[in-house]
Amino acid sequence: MTPNIRHGYLLLFKTKRRMVLYALVLVSLFSVAWSTGIPPQALDMFANNLSLSLFDSRAPNPVPDVAPPIRPPQPAPTIVLLPAAQVPENAPAETAPENLASPLNARVEKIPVFTSLDFLSGYLSNQSHPIIVEGQPWDFGSTNFVELKKPRGGTSYWDYWSEEVPWDSPNHAWQDQAGNWRPYTRELIETARGRTTLAHVLLERRGPGVMDKLWFTHDPTNSFMGILKQSSVFFWTTDPPEITEWGGLAKLGNLRIEVDGLNVFDGPIEDWFSGEAQALTPTLRKALVWRYRQFGSNGNIIPIPYQNHLKVWVYDGIAKPKWFMATGITLPPDAHVKPYTGQRDDLPLEQMDELAQTIMHPEGYIRALPNSQMYMLDVQADAPAALTFAGPGTLGAIQFKLSKQYDPRRLTLQVEYGSELGMRLPLLAFFAEPDQISLHHSSPVGLIDLGEEYLFYSNFPMPYRQGMTIELQTDSPSPISITAQVATLAQTTNTQLRVVYRPIEKLAAYGPDFRLNVEGNGKLVGLVLVTQDQEFDKVPRVIDPKTGEEDNAEKVWPMGYLEGNLTITDGAGNARYYSGQEDWAEGGYYFNSGYTTPPGGANMPFAGILRYQGGKNGFATLFRYFNDLAAFRFKNGLQLSFGHGTWQNNVPVSYGATLFYYHEIGKDE
């Protein structure tokens, strides 16, 4: 037994409240490590960090009530931070991060953790973003593949089951694990009360694997339709509560989820998306579930692991699903998971509630990390300011404070890993969107107003092996002063945070999709899409000669270009389909623009709208930060294709994007 693990066992006796959690995680970790051959150093590091976070009185809370003392900002144009193993004995305290983990050369290649608790703990604490879990992404949903396969996506807004379209329509299909396309079906089931009834089968999957999201949207409100049609009549139409709160979700009746032959949920569908099914605390409900009133859709992102089999139905409703999506990952055949049971021990709510404070107050996360230091930087046109991190390690979080007397649009952020460029983009594009101070309080990245200054924060861990340099550049004729705060960790992984930035570009009517490409292997963790300058009056109108009215298949309306699909593919044959731009950002019906304050959009901690304005002169900036399982694991390259119209990309509009991903590196990079 290594010293750190021994230390963890001793700390067990300091508190009774977390004994069960620590023991559960250690037992799971040891069993997986024994079967997969994880290096003991990696296990040692994980156990030490876990014991410190759960038991050591020195370890701060995820968001401490009182921030620990921080040294005054240190003026310097270039600051070099050394890893703990290389700090000279007489080095200043600012450059000597305390080594709370195992030695830096014990690199964590991956720590497979296959329980609901482990995945949620990693996501809520920001620690597992850089770790790639091997697996094959899957999805089930309402994408109309018949239309999608037509030139430029066909009629892109037909991605739903209308009232007259049967559930087993050839327009919609799902792909099994052998790669075969299958129609959706109905079958007889026996309910929890022993009654036989006909049910819609939403998905069926063989294990091992994890479902990371279940999402529905059904009926729009009259207020939304008024905004869409720009008719004042609809603004004053009252919607019944079941529409304003849930978007008519109750029409689907009951939801049934079966894991490895065990019925883990069988009840009113609204309970799964309200948090009642898992008895979530108010904080966890804000982080993990949402409903139509909040976001224009209903969603739940609690991971559902299954070892052998997963199946989901809806039944006893007065309607079939119109729009739905379920996403997940199939793990390697020899992987072991703790199947979800629906019992309280799946999710220790007290511990999860503590961790969720990181999501609710992301700007305070940096204070919970060791080795947090502040520096005053002066950025000049001929003298960029840089933070240089020597040796292997991880930047756990970074923040910049900028006085409002300066224009953040004049700043550029550049990151190099060793001598290799990892990203170069406008500072605003990394933290929000280019050319706009779009405030958002999201996790893990955000931009907030502190009164006299702006706070830019990122909690994406940034591992490095052969040093890293973060540089701020400017084209301003006058120097710009900015305060930087960084927190370093004495550990690393085999990934690097990188960014692909594409400035706004004009897309022609009936032109190709807007595409982003990434080379190599990795994990997609964030996406910001900027859309503007739609030329609605230039969209060709197609008249149906039989009716003399606009052809329904080629119809267009203001902001209709957002109905264009997003298709994500990699070089290994994996794919994921989103039937509209709002879908990948977890929204629906444009994020319920009629029921948000201020009108025009709503944000979850990890997804939403940075800016939105409807109408002919409208624009929209959407964002999504993907949690561990929803993060698309790609091999041999990644391509994202964004449509921009209601029919064959028929809307001339401008798109730009910022894509965040972890690049998987070799041992020598």
Domain positions in the chain? 73-96+361-492, 136-344+495-664
Mean pLDDT of 566-570: 98
Give residue-wise pLDDT tens across range 507-518. Answer: 999 999 999 999
Structure tokens at 328: 């997940």
Name the most confidently modeled range: 231-235, 388-392, 585-589, 639-643.
Answer: 639-643
Identify the weakest region by mean pLDDT among 326-330, 350-354, 515-519, 595-599: 595-599
Give residue-wise pLDDT tens across range 527-567. Answer: 999 999 999 999 988 898 888 888 888 889 999 999 999 99
* CA distances for 573 relative to 151, 531, 639, 642, angstroms: 21, 29, 11, 18
Of 540, 533, 554, the C-alpha closest to 616 is 533
Identify the weakest region by mean pLDDT among 21-25, 61-65, 171-175, 373-377: 61-65
Q: Strands 74-75 and 372-379, how do they pair?
A: parallel
DSSP classification of residue 157: T
Give residue-wise pLDDT tens across range 248-277. Answer: 999 999 999 999 999 999 999 999 999 999
With 70 as the cut, is the pLDDT of residue 293 above it? Answer: yes
Give residue-wise pLDDT tens across range 465-494. Answer: 999 999 999 999 999 999 999 999 998 999
pLDDT higher at 651 or 118: 651
pLDDT higher at 68 or 75: 75
With 50 as the cut, is the pLDDT of residue 190 above it? Answer: yes
Mean pLDDT of 234-240: 56
Of 369, 251, 271, the C-alpha closest to 320 is 251
Q: How confident is the model at residue 369 (pLDDT cuts 50, 70, 90)?
A: very high
Q: How confident is the model at residue 98 (pLDDT cuts 50, 70, 90)?
A: very low
Helix or strand run (H / E) with residue 51: helix 40-54
Of 52, 78, 60, the C-alpha closest to 366 is 60
Task: Kindly tell me the burial class for residue 151, based on how many C-beta atoms sit within 10 Å of its own C-beta (0-12, 13-18, 19 or more).
Answer: exposed
Structure tokens at 625: 């930060």
> Quick check: helix, strand or coil at residue 580?
coil
Burial 359-378 (b: 16+ CB within 10 A, else e): bbebbbbbbbbbbbbbbbbe
CB 519 within 8 A of CB 637: yes
Of 120, 535, 143, the C-alpha closest to 302 is 120
Name the most confidently modeled range: 25-29, 308-312, 331-335, 368-372.
Answer: 308-312
Mean pLDDT of the chain: 82
CB 369 within 8 A of CB 489: yes
Whole-number Å distance between alpha carbons of 261 and 306: 10
For residue 113, the model assigns a pLDDT of 60
Task: Kindly report whether the peptide bond that precedes residue 208 is cis, defined as omega within 30 degrees of 0.
Answer: yes
CB 269 within 8 A of CB 253: yes
Record: fold of 73-96+361-492: Jelly Rolls (2.60.120)
Backbone angles phi, psi at 31, to 5 degrees: -65, -45
CB 457 within 8 A of CB 362: yes
Mean pLDDT of 318-322: 95
For residue 124, the model assigns a pLDDT of 87
Of 366, 377, 511, 381, the C-alpha closest to 445 is 366
Quote the percentage of the chain above a pLDDT of 90: 64
Whole-number Å distance between alpha carbons of 148 and 144: 6
